[in-house]
Structure 1
Amino acid sequence: MTLAIDAMGGDFGPCVTVPAALQALASHSELFLLLVGHPDTLMPLLAKADSSLMGRLQVIPAESVIASDARPAQAIRNSRGSSMRVALEMVKEGRAQACISAGNTGALMGLSTLLLKPLDGIKRPALMSVLPHQQQGKTVVLDLGANVGSDSAMLVQFAVMGSVMAEHVLGIARPRVALLNIGHEETKGLETIRDAAAVLRESPQINYIGYLEGNELLTGKTDVMVCDGFVGNVTLKTMEGVVRMFLSLLKSSGEGKKRSWWLQLLGRWIQKRLTKRFGASQP
């Protein structure tokens, strides 16, 4: 498999993406990477890389970088020659099977739609994340912010995408799909959610189980949770904030006073577990 990497994207750019790319190559012998960015910036970071890894890595020049704070419409208009666009063009041309970028999310969604086109029957892309739940499994959650407003047809399409992801990537046979709502009753929620539910109930390809509330997201009651981008993003950021607050409380609870050694050990263990399970939740 060949992946195109926007090496210039993200808060820290190449100083993170290049080591991550090398680590991925070391972990997966069948992987090939196209590292897209400024050669003068990338090559010094690759100077000490293992020669066996460099045989599966190629640097693709790019002239510019899309700023993380650029408005999506402006970024798309000025995207020609940028590392993100060049990486997506690698997929469009068939030189790579997928593109990875930690750059401007709005620009990535817009450029992907413009260059790669959605599959037939899919109107818009969605952001998704895989969250751990208390049954030691995983739940696919989407949309997490690609579309602030979504009509009922888009929610149904998100359900299809999430179901395919859960089945073919996570290996969950006939994954359960739920809509995030403010109650379990069929009359609850916005009209768009109720209309989407009516369609999903009549779709034999989707194992639709009904509505779930926000406090059930991490219970393992569903394999796929579907919502619009506004609700999904607020939900994810709230959860991240709660985890951060809990970690901060663990860290500060023993400051300025003695704690039993077993409490310190327990605190460190809980902190590591939370960081491991929720550290990569942001899409």
Structure 2
Amino acid sequence: MSCGLAASPDIAEDALHAAHDAGDRAQLGYPPVVRGLMNLICQYVTWRLARQRVDFSNTLEVGAGAGRLAHVLRHRGCYVTAIDPHSSAPGVLNSRTSDLIDHSDRYSAIVYWHVLEHIPRPNAELRAAAALLRPGGSLVIAVPDPTSVQSHMFGAAWRGWNLPEHRFHFSRPVLTELLTSVGLQARTLNLSGGHTLAGWMDGPTHAAAGSHLTEVWSRGGVRNMIGRLTSTVTLPLAVAARCYEVIFRRTGAFVAVGVGVKDPAAGAVTRPMSNSPLPASSR
């Protein structure tokens, strides 16, 4: 990793589609208690973001996966367009951001929740997203933090690497610069973007069972049973580690927000600037 940015080898499109589809099916197959917990987490995160003046009234969720976040927002009465070219989940359109550029609608919020790291050209993607924002709208991005304590503790077994599906890994300064480069006012929030308790439980689970936490709890077999036992035993240590993260604000993932700036002359979101923290191949 250099200057807070790491790039992974490319993965074939058909393999990527299969991996995402398998992940969505796994989420839809979680036990009710797990699905309920994930819904509660989504509700808490959106509540915290709303307190940070993120307006979800007309939201575009990019890379919606199983559609969990979209479901939570729709239940609150928000209008949500959920897109994901690799998802077959109900309520999710099989589309890309670029497909919406000529659409007349503009969004109060656009959300990339653990999605940007999967996209081969982040600059081009965020330029398209910035063009779809209303003046004053919010572009919300959650990504794993490659500088976190978890990444150093677990090394190659850290869940945030997720190779080769995660093509890029962004530090806070790099993602802030990337948002600025597409004409947005950028800031990072004191809000965990995931990889919290589950992140601390996942490392030992992967070492013991060879599978990640979500996989061992959604599949059968002896190795996955060992993984479930390991994750249960490590829960008290994970709680202690999570408390450390809260105190020192070193979570396994972070959230950045870019706000569209209103151009007094044009009455629209300012257009992207030319500077970029990413190599030309990623644009």
Tell me whether the two structures share a fold, i.e. TM-score over 0.5: no
Give TM-score scaled by structure 2 length. 0.31
- Indicate the structure (1 or 2) with the bigger Cα radius of gyration: 1
